[in-house]
Every structure is written in C-alpha cells, then in structure tokens.
Amino acid sequence: MPQIFKPSADTWLRTFAAVAALGLIAAALFGAGVARSDWVTRAGWPVEQPVPFSHKHHVGDLGLDCRYCHSDVEEGRYAGLPSSHVCITCHSQLWTGAEVLEPVRASFAENRPIAWKRVAALPEYVYFDHHIHVARGVPCVECHGRIDEMPLTWRAKPLQMRFCIDCHRDPAPRLRPVNQVTRMDWTGWASDPANRGFGERAMRRFHIQPAKLTDCNVCHR
C-alpha cells in the first residue's frame, strides 16, 4: 500500500486533536462562567426608566407598602405595575410642575400606561406565581433584594433555575409570618436566628414537600 501520510502526520493529528479537546473544555468552562455572571443575569444593573422612579424615596423614606402599588401580588400570578392614577393621587399635589414627572402626567391625561422597562422578567417557558409564595410567607426581599434602598430599580438576584431550586430544596429557614412578607428590614427571631423552629412549623402547617418542589413540571408546564 502506498504511504499517503508521512509517519509524522499521525503525531500532528494527535496534537491537533489534543489541542481541540482542550479548547472545547476551556470554552465550556468559560461558557458556564459567563452564563452565571452578572453580565448575563443582569443582577445588580440599574435599569434606565422613562421616569426615574425611586423605591428608595417611596418605600425607604415615605414608608409606602409594596401592595400600595403592586396590588395584585397577594392574589395573582403577577404583582402588577401601578397605573399612573396611583402616582397622580400624590403628584397632583406634590412636585406638580416637575419636569421628570411629565411622562406620568401625559400617561394619566391620555389614559395609557407608562412604558416601564422590565427588571425581573423570566423567559416565557418558566411558570412563576406570586400568590403561592406570598401566601406561604416567602418574603419579597428573598427574590427582589433591598428594593427600599434602590434609587433606580435593578435585579438583585440572578433569578436563574439554580436560584429557584436552592430554595425549593429547603425553604424552611426563609419562611416568615405572612403579615411580614413585604417588610424589607425584618430581622427574624432573636431566640432562633436560623429560623428553623418557625420555618419547620410553617412547612408542616402548609404541607410543603420539598421533594416535590424540584419536579421539572412545577416550573415548566
């Protein structure tokens, strides 16, 4: 048989295969790192809005409850964003001429919603429901962070699958009394800092079964 390749070609081929394999591993590692980075998840990046609405002023300083503006959060799948009517109840008296509030006045006058840019939206293929979390005593701050300290709203947590599942495996320490869910500065029980006692009782009372909460069809239906 005539020799097509020189014996050295085999060495080259092996070297090439080895380099390609290393490249693939590096790309996979890099991909995994990027997929979990803030750059991809948008965690920690303030979002520019048509009106520079500040939760820090309205929640942190004025002390408004979340449900004043996100009024569907207890009953519905979605928390809802406030209509400009809600803003105008105060801003027809306060800061009435302010330039920054012009889009709010226009939206109210023309009866169309303000085009807020979404901060926490999930992909279409994920099912999420606020009502069940709020009803079980999972606080807003677990998923949205210290909203009351944000001059512009940003995504505080990655809201990726791993984030959801970490809690679904062991919700007990994160549960609190239902009437405390919107409190941003709740410090828990001095007598039980790990919150195991209350959490375990809540788990039994609501029949929460972590073994079932990680089934794929809980979140992908």
Q: Which two tokens stand for residue 168?
A: 């679904």
**Spatial CB neighbours of 165, under 8 Å, sequence gap ≥ 6:** 214
Query: Dihedral sign, CA of 105, 111, 112, 118?
Result: positive
Burial of 153 (0-12, 13-18, 19+ CB in 10 A): buried
* Chain residues 62-121 in contact with ligand HEC, contact rule CB under 6 A: 62, 64, 66, 68-70, 73, 78-82, 86-87, 89-91, 94-95, 100-101, 104, 116, 118-121
**Minimum distance from residue 198 beta carbon to ligand HEC (Å):** 13
Question: Near ligand HEC by CB under 6 A, which window of 5-13, 14-22, 163-171, 188-196?
Answer: 163-171
Interface pattern 17-56 for ligand HEC (x via CB under 6 A): --------------------------------x-xxxxx-
Tell me which of 10, 16, 57, 113 binds ligand HEC, using CB under 6 A.
57
Q: Report the DSSP beta bridge partners of residue 154.
A: 46
**Minimum distance from residue 116 beta carbon to ligand HEC (Å):** 4
